[in-house]
Amino acid sequence: MILVLLMRLTMIIAAIFCLQGLSLAQMRTVHGRLMVFNAYPVRNLEATARKAGTTVRTDSAGWFSIECQRKDVIHVRSDVFRDVSFRISGSTDTLMHNLVFLDEGENRDIAVGLGYIRGEDLAFAVNYLDHQNNDFCNYENVFELLEGRFPGVRVEYHGSRGAIYIRGSRSAGSSAAALTVVDGIIQGGIGWIHPCDIKSVNIIKDGMTALYGANGANGVVVIETRFGEGN
């Protein structure tokens, strides 16, 4: 009887170690860096892996390293920055992200008080780097940026060539694509624009497109870059 109990106890202990080993095998370390205004590292900001339940803070250079499961979601949440989430896959090793500062209320004082950014850096940024207070640089190309940020915008592209469709349905042929205007000039394509060079994007549709005549019947994508007139 005692021998049977010992055998069962041994099997239970072995199963526990096996499960622990399997759990550890599914864990991985992901590194990341958080910036703001594409210029300043965000310090002392929490990042949390939802499934693994681990939480870390960024260092003085904005870097963090966090243990997470192979398929996990890392959340970065704060009252002064726009919340972001990253889906982790088996091939994810490093995350680089420019946060969007919410310049409202007492957020400037909160950001400085919590040590996210130095007061002089934030004062300079909100006065002279406002055009960098976006997440445009987080996209690989202009088409991904448009598709990812604007509900109802559909993009079809291959490499640097593509077309943008604003309304839900379109007729056959490229004539249904939206008109694209960059720095006040109508463009036949926008694949050459680097997302980091974009200052603002506006999607115009319905009656607002009258300024562009018949060419704007399918909507207009108006892009202003850092190099446009007056910038």
Q: How many residues would you count in the chain?
A: 231
pTM of the model: 0.68
Characterize the bridge pairing of strands 46-49 and 40-41. unpaired
Closest CA to 222 of 211, 230, 231, 214: 211
Q: Which pLDDT belongs to residue 121?
A: 96
Q: Which pLDDT belongs to residue 167?
A: 65
**Cα(219)–Cα(177) distance, integer angstroms:** 8
Domain 27-136, architecture per CATH: Sandwich (2.60)
| Edge-to-edge strand list for the sheet holding 46-49 | 54-57, 46-49, 72-76, 84-88
From first CA to last CA, the distance across the chain in angstroms is 86
CATH code for the domain defined by 139-225: 2.170.130.10
DSSP letter for 54, please.
E
| Alpha-carbon separation of residue 140 from 31, 99, 133, 177 (angstroms) | 19, 16, 17, 22
* Domain ranges (residues) in the chain: 27-136, 139-225
Task: Please check whether residue 55 is in contact with residue 44, taking contact to mean a CB–CB distance below 8 angstroms.
Answer: no
pLDDT along the chain (231 residues), means of 10: 60 53 68 94 96 96 95 94 89 88 95 96 93 87 85 84 72 69 91 90 82 86 82 54
